[in-house]
Amino acid sequence: MRQSAIAAMTEQLTVTGNASSLHTSGRSARRVVEEARERLAKALGARPSEVVFTSGGTESDNLAIAGTFEARHAADPARNRLVVSAVEHHAILDCVEHLVTHEGAKVTWVEPDPTGLVTADAVRAAIEVDPGSVALVSVMWANNEVGTVQPVADIASVARGFDIPVHTDAVQAAGQVPLDFAASGADLMTVTGHKVGGPLGVGALLVRRDLVVVPQSFGGGQERQIRSGTFDVPGIRAFAVAVEEAVASLTSESPRLVALRDRLVRSSLDLGYDVSVTGVWEAGDGIRRLPGNAHLLVPGCEGDSLLYLLDAAGVECSTGSACQAGVPQPSHVLVAMGIPERAARGALRLTLGHTSTDADVDALLSALPGAIDRARRASRATGLAV
Amino acid sequence: MRVVAAMSGGVDSAVAASRMLAAGHEVVGVHLALSQSAATLRESARGCCTIEDAGDARRVADVLGIPFYVWDMAERFQRDVMDDFVAEYAAGRTPNPCLRCNEKIKFSALLDKAVALGFDAVATGHYAQVVERPDGGRELHRAVDPAKDQSYVLGVLDAEQLSRAFFPLGDTVKSQVREEARARGFYVANKPDSHDICFIADGDTRGFLTSRLGEQPGELVDAATGEVVGIHSGAYAYTVGQRRGLGLDRSSLDGSPRYVVDVDASANRVTIGTGDLLGVNAIRGDHARWCGAAPEGVVSVGAQVRAHGEEVPAQAWAAGDGVEVRLGSRLRGVAPGQSVVLYEGTRVVGSATIASSWLERDRGN
């Protein structure tokens, strides 16, 4: 967490006051929430009234998908179809699957190109199958695994032509690439605290003012009658501070991360181990790929072996795969990009952030060859070599 | 040493891991994901493949402060244990999947992967003892707790596998292991023991086999008369020595208990008979595995043909890839496919898969 966010949060933790109460301490708590709302809105190109605070990315995504589907379907029963990219986070995928299974929704998954890019043309084609049936389009701002930044403004422009609202999950993008809610043309946008150096368990859904969203949890109606629950005042305050700082440091931070990432990727490709990089990678580019994202495929390895070996060497990374009971499954993102399941098992997702340094990249690069050698031996030992 | 502690989520492997750590080893906890559909939380005491079990193992690793990983061995387990289990039953034999798992998964796939990643050994919560000889060789011995002794299911380990195996619980009785778990603050201290076959959650082996092999009605034949006395739904579901679940109309028989005395898978015929037909004193085993050097000539041993079964005195000798065993007293219910494990005192000599068994009447027992 950013020091500024920790300071804001800990200071606020010492202050009593329910922001929904009308007494003095309640009013001052309310003021903190509203100031945070204004700062967050300003940092993200939104109006304060468009900010709905939530418990984080998953809740925001669920609220956007289910809440908009219900509202649109109720207003026009013909609108029962969701047009959603196949590379979304599980907070989207599983919510859509739930609506399909339990609410009679239909879904058209929009497949990405081999770099993980979901084109506006592909979205248009999916809509044009039956434009009158579409309740919502959802395409993430940037992919969490391979870092591909999606053409959200183009997609929103296509959808607007059909009068269809667009949601974008910008959890990975906030603080990494420039975000402007209004300019993007999106109707709903998800952001969350811990990805910008803010606290865990707090996030927001930006909701265009005239969009109807049916609440998914019920209670005091604190947030525009869309989202209920006592305000997490310390979390909200720290979240806004973190977003503001992340956005402000973007112009200096982005080139720094791009340079680190490029050295990491270039050196990994040059190891002589047939390592490849997924998605869109061009040295110096921090617009089409998230600056801090390096996602590699290491043939002949299982990601979990690499993860263990690198962890033991002090490098914390992920295999870029979804875990169920801790069991690595080939990533749906890589599968959707057309990467064979076997190759997808050797995925290594390395994320750089505001605390990452040249020394971190050096540590990885010195540990990687030995780790690959060992991991390949382990794959051969278990008879699962590529 | 750098050691992988195989952690099922149960109390035994938890204490085994903690003992390895206390002995000064560098320990990493590994939970094997063996089921391709582990998406269930079960209250049952059976099995070791649920999300809950993986979570329990993780919590123990947390308490110990050791790294913890889940390694996906589901593909290998499916092929080497579950498919083999079904194929063996389909061939009229009665396999022991725990031996198979120890031979092919825990001390092969897991051990080999661990060694490749730079580990020296694998430790498990099995109740058995490894004794190091003065010459550096290692011997596998029965555990001190006879009620928990698992040397039988480890009888498939060869010298190479044994050289990289640790069984830290072999010198301890179960009640003490639970006590130790409580003292160390493991939440799993009172977790019930696992039973039966881990991949058959409800314990219904026949139902499991039927779902994979289908109903195959065939004849139940009386060994004495050769008459058909009933219909079964698949010979694969029967085991030599089995008495329950034969569905016989007792009035047609003389009232004495009937047992399965033969399963002929190719003819899908199950033969039943009286208990006296079950006694055998000669066994031929194949796929012999020796925990050390193969014995030379005829050796006097103890033979055990099922987990927690009795050990009887025997003479044994290696014969090609297999073993010949002559028992000093008759054993009942010796089913092909089961393993015969040979002991010299408490030491495991080796094991073999029972291919056939018979009664040699001239041997006077």
Same domain membership, residue A121 and residue A43: yes
pLDDT at A263: 97
Same domain membership, residue A219 and residue A268: no
| Confidence label for B13 from pLDDT (cuts 50, 70 and 90) | very high
Query: Is pLDDT larger for residue B41 or for residue B38?
Result: B38
Contact list, B118 vs chain A (CB under 8 Å): 309, 374
Domain count, chain A: 2
DSSP per-residue string spanning A15-68: ----TT--SHHHHHHHHHHHHHHHHHHHHHT--GGGEEEESSHHHHHHHHHHHH
Domain finish residue from A209, A224, A248: A248
The H or E element containing residue A110 is strand A106-110
Q: Mutation target for B interface from A327, A377, A380: give the one with most B CBs within 10 A.
A: A327
Class of domain B279-363 (CATH, top level)? mainly beta
Read off the CATH number of the domain in which A78 is found: 3.40.640.10
Nearest residue in A to B56, CA atom: A325
Q: What is the pLDDT of residues B325-341, one digit of tens each?
A: 999 999 988 999 999 99
State the alpha helices, DSSP H only, in chain A: 3-13, 24-44, 57-75, 90-102, 120-128, 152-161, 181-184, 233-248, 250-269, 303-312, 332-336, 341-344, 358-381
The count of C-alpha atoms lying within 13 angstroms of the C-alpha of A192, restricted to the half-sphere facing its C-beta, is: 17
Q: What is the DSSP code (8-state) at residue B296?
A: P
pLDDT at A341: 87
Q: Does the distance separating the beta carbons of A328 and B113 come in below 8 Å?
A: no
Distance from CA of A309 to the nearest CA of B (A): 7
| Confidence label for B42 from pLDDT (cuts 50, 70 and 90) | very low
Q: Does the distance separating the beta carbons of A382 and B73 come in below 8 Å?
A: yes
Q: Is B80 helix (H, G, I), strand (E, B) or coil?
A: helix
pLDDT at A318: 81
Where, residue-wise, is CATH 2.40.30.10 in chain B?
A: 279-363
- Classify residue B147 as exposed, middle or buried by CB count within 10 Å of its CB (0-12, 13-18, 19+): exposed
Percent of chain A with pLDDT over 70: 97
Domain span holding position A186: 3-248
Instruction: Evaluate if residue B251 carries a pLDDT over 60.
Output: no
pLDDT at B18: 97
Which CATH number is correct for B2-190, 2.40.30.10, 3.30.70.1520, 3.40.50.620, 2.130.10.10? 3.40.50.620
| Confidence label for A320 from pLDDT (cuts 50, 70 and 90) | low
Instruction: Evaluate if residue B44 carries a pLDDT over 50.
Output: no
Mean pLDDT of chain B: 89
Q: How far apart are alpha carbons A312 and A296 in whole angstroms?
A: 19
Examine the residue annotation and report whether B291 is marked as an active-site residue of this protein: no
pLDDT at A380: 87
Residue with tokens 């969009």: A211
| Confidence label for A385 from pLDDT (cuts 50, 70 and 90) | very low
Same domain membership, residue A172 and residue A148: yes
Whether residue A215 lies inside any domain: the answer is yes
Q: What is the pLDDT of residues B252-304, one digit of tens each?
A: 567 778 899 999 999 999 999 988 888 999 999 999 999 988 899 999 999 99
Tell me the β-bridge partners of A108: A83
Superfamily of domain B215-277: Adenine nucleotide alpha hydrolases-like domains (2.30.30.280)
pLDDT at B193: 81
Q: How far apart are alpha carbons A244 and A255 in whole angstroms?
A: 18
- For chain B, the residue count is 365
Phi and psi for A52 in degrees, rounded to 5?
A: -115, 110
Question: A47-56, A323-332, A370-379, B345-354 — which is least confidently predicted?
Answer: A323-332
Distance from CA of A356 to the nearest CA of B (A): 23
Same domain membership, residue A193 and residue A47: yes
Instruction: Evaluate if residue B63 carries a pLDDT over 80.
Output: yes
pLDDT at B27: 97
Distance from CA of B255 to the nearest CA of A (A): 52
Neighbours of A98 (CB within 10 A): 14
Query: Is pLDDT larger for residue B51 or for residue B106?
Result: B106
Using alpha carbons, select from A243, A238, A245 the residue that is nearest to residue A33: A238
Same domain membership, residue A266 and residue A196: no
Q: What is the pLDDT of residues B194-208, one digit of tens each?
A: 777 888 877 888 899
Neighbours of A41 (CB within 10 A): 21
Q: What is the pLDDT of residues B132-176, one digit of tens each?
A: 999 888 999 999 999 999 999 999 999 999 999 999 999 999 999
Tokens of B231: 């219909």
Q: Does the distance separating the beta carbons of A308 and B28 come in below 8 Å?
A: yes
Whether residue A386 lies inside any domain: the answer is no
Cα–Cα–Cα angle for B186, B188, B192, rounded to 5 degrees: 150
Domain finish residue from A217, A248, A279: A248
pLDDT at B40: 44
Percent of chain B with pLDDT over 70: 94
- Mean pLDDT, rounded, for A277-306: 93
Mean pLDDT of chain A: 93
pLDDT at B194: 76
pLDDT at B252: 53
Q: How many CB pairs under 8 A join A and B?
A: 64
Nearest residue in B to A311, CA atom: B67
Contact list, A324 vs chain B (CB under 8 Å): 38-39, 51
Taking the Cβ of residue B79 and every Cβ of chain A, the question of whether any pair is shorter than 8 Å is answered with no
Read off the CATH number of the domain in which A277 is found: 3.90.1150.10
Q: Is A178 helix (H, G, I), strand (E, B) or coil?
A: coil
Whether residue A182 lies inside any domain: the answer is yes
Same domain membership, residue A203 and residue A269: no
| Confidence label for A245 from pLDDT (cuts 50, 70 and 90) | very high
| Confidence label for B36 from pLDDT (cuts 50, 70 and 90) | low
Q: What is the pLDDT of residues A67-126, one digit of tens each?
A: 999 999 999 999 999 999 999 999 999 999 999 999 999 999 999 999 999 999 999 999
The H or E element containing residue B351 is strand B347-358
Q: Mutation target for A interface from B26, B71, B76, B164: give the one with most A CBs within 10 A.
A: B71
Q: How far apart are alpha carbons B294 and B350 in whole angstroms?
A: 8
Q: What is the pLDDT of residues A145-202, one digit of tens each?
A: 999 999 999 999 999 999 999 999 999 999 999 999 999 999 999 999 999 999 999 9
State the alpha helices, DSSP H only, in chain B: 11-22, 51-64, 74-77, 84-90, 97-101, 111-116, 159-162, 174-183, 205-213
pLDDT at B243: 86
Query: Is pLDDT larger for residue A15 or for residue B128?
Result: B128
Whether residue A113 lies inside any domain: the answer is yes
Whether residue A301 lies inside any domain: the answer is yes
Q: How far apart are alpha carbons A161 and A176 in whole angstroms?
A: 29
Whether residue A376 lies inside any domain: the answer is yes
Q: Does the distance separating the beta carbons of B116 and A384 come in below 8 Å?
A: no
Tokens of B32: 């094997």
Using alpha carbons, select from A232, A255, A234, A236 the residue that is nearest to residue A244: A236
Contact A342, A383 (CB under 8 A): no
Contact B66, B28 (CB under 8 A): yes
How far apart, in Å, do the first and last CA atoms of chain A sit? 40
- For chain A, the residue count is 386
